[in-house]
Amino acid sequence: MILRCMIIDDEPLARKGLREYMADTGFLQLAGEYESAVKASGALATEKPDLLFLDIQMPKMNGIDFLRSLPNPPMVIFTTAHSGHALEAFELNVIDYLVKPISLDRFLKAVMKARDFAGYRAVKAAPEDYFFIKCDNKIEKVAFADILYVEALQNYVAVYTPLRKFITYLTFKAIEEYLPEEQFIKVHKSFIVSVSKIDSIDGQDVFIGQQQVPISRGLKEDVMKRVLNNRYLKR
């Protein structure tokens, strides 16, 4: 994993030292360096760094105020000559707080923490795109992308894909709670459909290919809003 980094520090020697440390670290890439927070603010939106090396005592705006001003800040490692701001800094959920002069060993410990945190965040954010169910005495893998719709069958649930139908001993509620809301919608007390697989809507039914799935009257308005989603062109 490569971390794009930005240095914001008014001391040229401090910026030089961080550049040299970064060059010795294979997973850090310099995305820019700035002598003040004011000059860096415009570049954040375009460069989109993963990690800021941010000084605290700088002209016009200090690093803590700058960090507080960011609506969606990247990871931050404070680099400062003053140890007195550590508590305030960690209340802002920074990765680390390095006091100058910064040793290579201390620098490496900080950036390894940043890399570990970025890796954890990426794994946590990555959606699972499949699940397993028991069907005909086998444990079968089903990809979200393959599901056309799901139907409740008394004590069972049928999961329809283009190639086959899986019948599994699950409650309808259990599978409804597991399927991602951004991809699926409940159209009837007994049916959940994949929004992207709907080909047409006719009265109280949605069609997925030739398959007709009913829409409950009480859910019709929500289904229409969700499926059309401002894509309905009319005169």
- Say if residue 56's pLDDT is above 90: yes
Which among 188, 186, 185 is positioned nearest to 215, based on CA atoms?
Answer: 188
Residues 207-229: pLDDT tens digits?
998 899 999 999 998 899 888 87
What proportion of the chain, given as a percentage, has pLDDT over 90? 63
Residues 7-46: pLDDT tens digits?
999 999 999 999 999 998 989 999 999 999 989 988 888 8
Q: What pLDDT is recorded for position 153?
A: 92
CA distance 150 to 212: 12
Residues 200-211: pLDDT tens digits?
999 899 999 889
- Say if residue 99's pLDDT is above 60: yes
Mean pLDDT over residues 177-188, rounded?
90
Using only C-alpha atoms, the chain has a radius of gyration, in whole angstroms, of 26
